[in-house]
């Protein structure tokens, strides 16, 4: 009868003490605001332009209402999902979030430990603060994926995915929507770009192909090395050819992240990638762009069940994840929720966020009359606009 939800309730109520960690997204956001300087907080919290799309990502969830079913014996429940061989305790994965050293000194190492402890896979960013090998060591046997920003050097892209494969990452997620940074007012106002401070460059600086491009080693001339990174990073000329070159360089399944247009989804099917992520990068790239949840149903329709469709941008609670799954997502990714918890409380904060999400999904699912996330579908929701 027990489950993530009851276990968490018994633990907290049983102690009878006010817990030292929040249970809400807003609570963690507030703590992060208190501990971080304005530049770092603004970088994590901010979106593109007026931040309309960032807000729309949230508002899109309010349109959909869960329709609980009664008397359906939900005593045995299974929240887990499996995506391309990676098993997760619930319909969540930890989204690739770069430069986490601006949030906490243990950065991705703490996240990897929390992910392994809670059974939720992590997707490591290209622009992580520790090398992908260092992070892999903290993950043990837990499933992990690597996110690639393909740069201007095909050899470097190949080297990065080969390293990821050797280090036990089991899929590559190629992010398409950030070939350059969006217009981020908060960061411009704070004159804050973490890369210029040498954050987020560990995978490049440790890479033999990248190092061979430099006149001086990054340890001797870090500024020149950061400039070389920025040159390699900006890729407005990216096309499917670059994606396919990466696919040829690895035997791992490849997903593309940043799809919101059904035509792009159809093209992804034609090209034969193994999965896609519906995402607008948490509203950080194109202001005025469609809310990710509003884009999801048409992308799911275009894909027609031929590959997993993951979803992110705006997931803050168990209810949000259930809505996305009911609309056809195989699983969801969360970004800022765990980044804030990391900032405020390191590994234990990230664990709390993941455990809360699992507990919430468990109770929400049970009280809505479902034994598994796989039972959710169009009839689980009411469209408030109808
Ligand atoms: C501070 C920050 C850094 C990010 N870095 C990356 C990254 O390196 N690679 C990537 O694919 N997405 C990156 N993202 C986007 C996330 O993977 C994800 O799409 C987004 O955060 C989801 O929205 P949410 O924050 O509303 O959950 C970043 C997001 C944030 C907030
Ligand atoms: C160079 C951009 C990497 C980080 C990122 O994806 C973000 O800040 O959204």
pLDDT tens profile 127-137:
999 999 999 99
Known binding residue 184? Answer is yes
**How many Å lie between the centroid of ligand 1 and the Cα of residue 11?**
32
Does residue 284's CB lie within 6 angstroms of at least one atom of ligand 2? Answer: yes
Q: Whose CA is nearest to atom 8 of ligand 2?
A: 98
Q: Taking residues 149-161, report their average pLDDT.
A: 98
Structure-token pair, residue 179: 């070939």
Which pLDDT does position 2 carry in this prediction?
A: 74
Count of beta carbons in the 10 Å neighbourhood of residue 345: 22
Tell me: pLDDT of 114 over 90. yes
**How many Å lie between the centroid of ligand 1 and the Cα of residue 51?**
15
Mean pLDDT value across the chain = 98
Known binding residue 315? Answer is yes
User: How do residues 23-47 score in pLDDT, each as one tens digit?
Assistant: 999 999 999 999 999 999 999 999 9
Which pLDDT does position 384 carry in this prediction?
A: 95
User: How do residues 251-273 score in pLDDT, each as one tens digit?
Assistant: 999 999 999 999 999 999 999 99
Q: At the top level of CATH, which class does the domain 4-371 belong to? A: alpha beta
Q: Whose CA is nearest to atom 10 of ligand 1?
A: 96
> Which atom of ligand 1 is least distant from the CA of 258?
19
Tell me: pLDDT of 297 over 80. yes
**How many Å lie between the centroid of ligand 1 and the Cα of residue 385?**
30
Q: Whose CA is nearest to atom 28 of ligand 1?
A: 97
Structure-token pair, residue 385: 């606009």
Tell me: pLDDT of 155 over 90. yes
Which ligand is closest to the CA of 230, given by its number?
2
Known binding residue 312? Answer is yes
Q: Is 179 helix (H, G, I), strand (E, B) or coil?
A: coil
Query: How far does CA 199 lie from the centroid of its chain?
Result: 19
Q: Which residues of 309-323 are buried (b: 16+ CB within 10 A; e: fewer)?
A: bbbbbbbbbbbbbbb
> Which atom of ligand 1 is least distant from the CA of 314?
26
Rounded distance between C-alpha atoms, residue 337 and residue 28, angstroms: 7
Given pLDDT bands bounded at 50, 70 and 90, which one contains residue 386? confident
Which pLDDT does position 78 carry in this prediction?
A: 97
Q: Taking residues 226-230, report their average pLDDT.
A: 97
Measure the N-to-C terminal CA separation of the chain; round to a whole number of Å.
37
Known binding residue 186? Answer is no
Which ligand is closest to the CA of 148, given by its number?
1
Ligand 1 surroundings by CB, under 6 angstroms: 43-44, 57, 95-98, 125, 127, 147, 175, 257, 279, 281-282, 312-315, 334-336, 339
Mutate to test the pocket of ligand 1, among 145, 293, 315, 335 (most ligand atoms within 8 A of CB): 335
User: Shortest CA distance to 265 belongs to which of 238, 305, 293, 223?
Assistant: 305
The pTM of the full predicted model, rounded to 2 decimals, is 0.99
Does residue 127's CB lie within 6 angstroms of at least one atom of ligand 2? Answer: yes
Mutate to test the pocket of ligand 1, among 98, 160, 182 (most ligand atoms within 8 A of CB): 98
Which ligand is closest to the CA of 46, given by its number?
1
Q: Are strands 309-311 and 331-334 parallel, antiparallel or unpaired?
A: parallel
Q: Whose CA is nearest to atom 20 of ligand 1?
A: 282
Question: Is 281 a known active-site residue?
Answer: yes
Known binding residue 125? Answer is yes
Q: Which residue has the tokens 């359906």?
A: 72
Judge contact between 357 and 309, C-beta under 8 A: no
């Amino acid at each position: 009868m027990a489950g993530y939800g009851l276990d968490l309730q018994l633990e907290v109520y049983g102690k009878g003490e006010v817990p030292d960690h929040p249970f809400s997204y807003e609570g963690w956001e507030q703590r992060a605001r208190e501990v971080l300087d304005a530049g770092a907080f603004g970088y994590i919290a901010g979106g593109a332009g007026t931040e309309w799309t960032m807000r729309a990502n949230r508002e899109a969830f309010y349109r959909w209402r869960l329709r609980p079913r009664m008397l359906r014996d939900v005593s045995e429940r299974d929240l887990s999902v499996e995506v391309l061989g990676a098993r997760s305790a619930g319909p969540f994965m930890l989204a690739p979030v770069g430069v986490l050293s601006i949030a906490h000194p243990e950065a991705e190492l703490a996240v990897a430990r929390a992910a392994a402890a809670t059974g939720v896979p992590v997707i490591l960013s290209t622009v992580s603060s520790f090398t992908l090998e260092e992070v892999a060591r903290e993950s043990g046997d837990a499933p992990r994926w690597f996110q690639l920003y393909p740069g201007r050097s095909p050899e470097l892209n190949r080297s990065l995915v080969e390293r990821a494969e050797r280090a036990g990452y089991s899929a590559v997620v190629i992010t398409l929507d950030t070939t350059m940074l969006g217009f981020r007012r908060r960061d411009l106002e704070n004159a804050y770009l973490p890369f210029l401070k040498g954050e987020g460059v560990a995978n490049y600086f440790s890479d033999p192909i990248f190092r061979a491009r430099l006149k001086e080693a990054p340890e001797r001339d870090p500024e020149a090395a950061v400039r070389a990174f920025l040159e390699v990073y900006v890729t407005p000329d990216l096309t499917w050819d670059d994606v396919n070159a990466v696919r040829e360089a690895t035997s791992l399944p490849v997903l593309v992240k940043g799809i919101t247009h059904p035509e792009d989804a159809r093209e992804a099917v034609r090209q034969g990638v193994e999965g896609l992520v519906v995402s607008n990068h948490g509203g950080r790239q194109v202001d005025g762009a469609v809310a990710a949840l509003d884009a999801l149903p048409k992308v799911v329709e275009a894909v027609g069940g031929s590959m997993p469709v993951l979803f992110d941008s705006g997931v803050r609670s168990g209810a949000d994840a259930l809505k996305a799954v009911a609309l056809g997502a195989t699983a969801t990714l969360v970004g800022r929720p765990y980044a804030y918890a990391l900032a405020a409380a390191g590994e234990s904060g990230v664990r709390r966020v993941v455990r809360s999400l699992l507990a919430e999904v468990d109770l929400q699912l049970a009280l809505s009359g479902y034994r598994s996330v796989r039972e959710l579908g169009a009839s689980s929701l009411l469209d408030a606009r109808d």
